[in-house]
Structure 1
Amino acid sequence: MLELRTREHLRRLEELLRQQDLWADTPPDVSALASTAPFACDTLAFEQWLQFIFLPRMYALLEAGHTLPADIAIAPMAFHVWQHQPERVALIQLLNDLDTLLNEPR
């Protein structure tokens, strides 16, 4: 059940990123993806991190049947980045919902 609900949140995230024109057609340079900073904040925009690092890793965990993260906090970063952009409220809320889902006791 957790896996199904997580997959639904991830699909919705991708959909919202596309609807809000935050989806890139071209991936960033490989070196930008290799950042070790939280959210790759030194090399990527937050939406790029979501698209090119977070979503692929989460889908890979789901496909492989691995345990999903149980201590996650993405919404605070989304709020930090997008707090002055009212059009991003749905994205922030979705990420908050995903944080809540993954942080529920298992």
Structure 2
Amino acid sequence: MKDNELKASVNRLLDCVEQELRRQNVWMAMPPSPEAMSSTTPFCMDTMTFSQWLQWVFVPRVRAILDQGAMLPNGSDIKPYAEEAIRVEKLEAPELLSLMEQFDRLMS
């Protein structure tokens, strides 16, 4: 896949993640605390729910990479964590898991 096609696919996927979080009514108006945002734990799992991490960390960071024309990650393995986190958070799994799997595939 060409770089422009990859970036367009990732951008569409990020839009879908946002739409799905909104559809499930977990899109938040207010960001987590600065302390929560400064977590160094993978997925900020010690300070945020998975949906919060998607909204406040994942989507903005990947969009920033796209906007800056920087290199996308050389690999991703979000889906295994997403499977557990979605269950714990009691989110509707199928669409979110599909989106995470698509992202992982695009980055490999």
- Decide: shared fold, TM above 0.5: yes
**Structure 1 4/29 Cα, relative in aligned 2: closer, same or farther at 3 Å?**
same
1:94 Cα deviation after fit: 1.0
Task: Judge conservation of contact 2:49–2:85 (CA < 8 Å) in 1.
Answer: no
Percent identity, please. Answer: 36
Q: Amino acid of the residue matched to residue 100 of structure 2?
A: L
Classify the secondary structure of the residue corresponding to 1:12.
helix
Alignment of 1:82-101 (within 5 A): 82-83=86-87, 85=90, 87-101=92-106
1:64 Cα deviation after fit: 0.3
> Are residues 1:30 and 2:27 paired?
no
Aligned residues: 103
> Are residues 1:21 and 2:53 paired?
no
Relative to the length of structure 2, the TM-score reads: 0.90
Kindly report structure 1 stretches of 4+ aligned residues shifted beyond 6 Å.
Answer: none
> Are residues 1:78 and 2:82 paired?
yes
1:37-87, Cα deviation, whole Å (9 max, x unpaired): 010011111111110011110000000000001211111111011247572
1:17-41, Cα deviation, whole Å (9 max, x unpaired): 0001111110011110000001001
Q: Which residue of 2 aligns with 1:66?
A: 70
Classify the secondary structure of the residue corresponding to 2:92.
helix
Structure 2, gaps ≥5 residues long: none
Q: Amino acid of the residue matched to residue 102 of structure 1?
A: M
Q: Which residue of 1 aligns with 2:50?
A: 46
1:98 Cα deviation after fit: 1.0
Equivalent-residue separation in structure 1 for 2:67 and 2:91 (angstroms) = 34
Structure 1, gaps ≥5 residues long: none
